[in-house]
Structure 1
Amino acid sequence: MKDFDQLHRFLFNRANVRGELARLDDSLQQIVHSYEYPVQIQRLLSEMAAATCLLTAILKFKGEISLQVQGQGAVKYAVISATDDHTLRGVARWDETLTTLPETFDEQIKKGVLVITITPDEGERYQGVVALDKPTLAECLEGYFAQSEQLATKVMLYTDLSQPERARAAGILLQVMPTQASNTNVNEDTEFEHLVKISETLSNEEMFSLPVHDILYRLYHQEDVEMFEPAAIQFACSCSRERSAEALRNVEKDELQQIVKEEGAVKMNCQYCHTEYRFDSIDIEAIHAGRFDQTPSQEQ
């Protein structure tokens, strides 16, 4: 379906509520199939990817937003990062000694925290942290907005893992506009709750089988809705040979040359996209002399 891998934004003009709907297909495959993830981890990463796409609307500048969960349960950490132009990447780590993994979010991550990091290309980095003290990721995100932004927010996340090699994910976000966040008018609160209730009637099957236009019409045909052009979502990684070389600049040259002697090259592997960057003895000398040629002649 052509309107997958798109972020749709819309406004409810009479209610001063904004909405977003994201559906992921091709953009998700590199993330959930980059390792031999158990289906439980695939589902977690799929939900997080949909949620992070919805969060890109927070970015009012060029930069990146990351959604990370970490804890002491079966899942050690999982992170999805997205840029202002809606490129995604992500990875997860879990206790691989377990023969079976818990099915639910709150059972997978014990004593966990949710970390949302906003990194502008220019300016200071911002990080918000809240406890993972609710049963689902969607509810934890709602708690984050209530605590950090004081904005009434509803998040709904959907996954479709019925085809093992074709994971799909989706999400809907409704949020009171910032100018209304401090307003306690009962009618405005009631209007937001009304929109939440009708949004909750959408089934998982409808989310993945209907065109987006039909979904929005089915839910909101009695509302005054203003639609915006959808934005394309795709997988992309920000790793590079230059960044890898910069990291090696902080390692003693003799130590790196010893690795080259023993293994033939220093190898840097990106945990997100698995691109491997190799650096030989000449590269190491150039890196530490400040004249490294970043031509990816040994990139794989």
Structure 2
Amino acid sequence: MSDFDQLYRFLIDRAHVRGQLVRLQDSLTEIVHSQEYPVQIQRLLSEMAAATSMLTAILKFEGEISLQIQSKGPVNYAVINASHNQTMRGVARWDQSLPSLPDSLEALLSQAVLVITITPDKGERYQGVVALDKPTLAECLESYFAQSEQLPTKIMLMTDMRDPEQVKAAGMLLQVLPEDASQSALSRGNEFEHLVKLGETLSEEEMFSLPVSDILYRLYHQEKVELFSPQPVRFSCTCSRERTANALRNVDKTELLQIIAEDGAVNMNCQYCHAEYRFDEIDIEAIHAGNFESSAAKQ
């Protein structure tokens, strides 16, 4: 089994630190190649995908989580949606009139915020907003955990863009477990910083070439590391003919029938997977009468 498109959880027992390590390849293909994205946007979406995958494992819930960037810079919007069972999708919008895009995050985004939305299957929806005012996405996410969870957290995000047809992304997250009475915050903090410094010695070449078990041994062979069974990560879009019909229910029927008169049908295209859904006059009448029966097939 390939170590790619897998999320690994691990626990460093003595230091009371939990970790996540994810490497993505095939699961990124539908995201970064859904449009003719410049390499800078492919890199941004890849980092966001790795980060989102790890966040779904840290947050104990069943449901969905999204990382959404809103910006006034060359990239004005980017989002990755993921579920607790590690399915994800994503899209970005940028100023296509520009001849080229800058490479740095700070130049790519301007007056930007990162909106983290957690939507559990049961319970209330939660939303947090983080300023994208640091050089890297990883540092901005660390600020989120410092503010919201108040737990020391280290996030490392890497991308391999050498093969445009097989873009790769990886991430590793270390986080101190909630403190208990058996260990002081000072000693725990010192141990965590030591583990972080060891993690920072990991090169991109090692991250993308070594088996995950070898990576953890290379970094933490002096620690007792418990590595759990991986969880597969894959691309999946949640669009459907029924969901699209529900959206059309909020559009004035007269307007929809006028589109049909001019174009022959109302054609809807999913921005994530580009599935197309076609609705004729009978469909529109049924949608607004509340008795539309959807087909499971994408048209």
TM-score by length of structure 1 reads 0.96
Structure 2: gaps of 5 or more residues:
none
Measured in 1, the distance between the counterparts of 2:21 and 2:242 equals: 36
1:156 aligns with 2:156: yes
**2:17 match:** 17
Letter in 2 for 1:288: H
Measured in 2, the distance between the counterparts of 1:184 and 1:72 equals: 44
Measured in 2, the distance between the counterparts of 1:61 and 1:204 equals: 31
> Helix, strand or coil: the match of 1:179?
coil
**1:45 match:** 45
1:83 aligns with 2:83: yes
Measured in 2, the distance between the counterparts of 1:296 and 1:213 equals: 41
1:71 aligns with 2:34: no
Measured in 2, the distance between the counterparts of 1:178 and 1:96 equals: 45
Do 1:47 and 1:170's aligned partners in 2 also have CA atoms closer than 8 Å?
A: yes
Measured in 2, the distance between the counterparts of 1:276 and 1:60 equals: 35
Offset at residue 133 of structure 1 (A): 1.1
> Helix, strand or coil: the match of 1:178?
coil
Do 1:59 and 1:65's aligned partners in 2 also have CA atoms closer than 8 Å?
A: no
**1:98 match:** 98
Offset at residue 60 of structure 1 (A): 2.1
Measured in 1, the distance between the counterparts of 2:116 and 2:184 equals: 27
Measured in 2, the distance between the counterparts of 1:83 and 1:47 equals: 17
> Helix, strand or coil: the match of 2:61?
coil
Measured against aligned partners, the alpha-carbon deviations of 1:159-215 in whole angstroms (never above 9, x if no partner) come to 00100111000000000113359x863211110001000000110011111111111
Measured in 2, the distance between the counterparts of 1:290 and 1:123 equals: 28
Matches within 5 A, 1:126-205: 126-179=126-179, 185-205=185-205
> Helix, strand or coil: the match of 1:291?
coil
CA RMSD of aligned residues (A): 1.4
Do 2:134 and 2:140's aligned partners in 1 also have CA atoms closer than 8 Å?
A: yes
Measured in 2, the distance between the counterparts of 1:152 and 1:262 equals: 59
Offset at residue 255 of structure 1 (A): 1.1
Measured in 1, the distance between the counterparts of 2:198 and 2:218 equals: 9
Question: What is the aligned-residue identity percentage?
Answer: 69
Letter in 2 for 1:231: Q
CA distance 1:19–1:265, shift in 2 (3 Å):
same
Measured in 1, the distance between the counterparts of 2:113 and 2:72 equals: 10
Measured in 2, the distance between the counterparts of 1:296 and 1:234 equals: 21
Do 2:112 and 2:132's aligned partners in 1 also have CA atoms closer than 8 Å?
A: yes
TM-score by length of structure 2 reads 0.97
Offset at residue 58 of structure 1 (A): 3.4
Letter in 2 for 1:259: I
Matches within 5 A, 1:289-300: 289-296=289-296, 299-300=298-299
Do 2:116 and 2:127's aligned partners in 1 also have CA atoms closer than 8 Å?
A: yes
Measured in 1, the distance between the counterparts of 2:204 and 2:78 equals: 24
1:213 aligns with 2:218: no
Stretches of 4+ aligned residues off by more than 3 angstroms = none
Do 2:174 and 2:196's aligned partners in 1 also have CA atoms closer than 8 Å?
A: yes
CA distance 1:71–1:254, shift in 2 (3 Å):
same
CA distance 1:180–1:163, shift in 2 (3 Å):
farther
Measured against aligned partners, the alpha-carbon deviations of 1:252-293 in whole angstroms (never above 9, x if no partner) come to 111111111111111111111111111111100111111111
Letter in 2 for 1:142: E
Do 1:81 and 1:88's aligned partners in 2 also have CA atoms closer than 8 Å?
A: yes
> Helix, strand or coil: the match of 1:213?
helix
> Helix, strand or coil: the match of 1:260?
helix
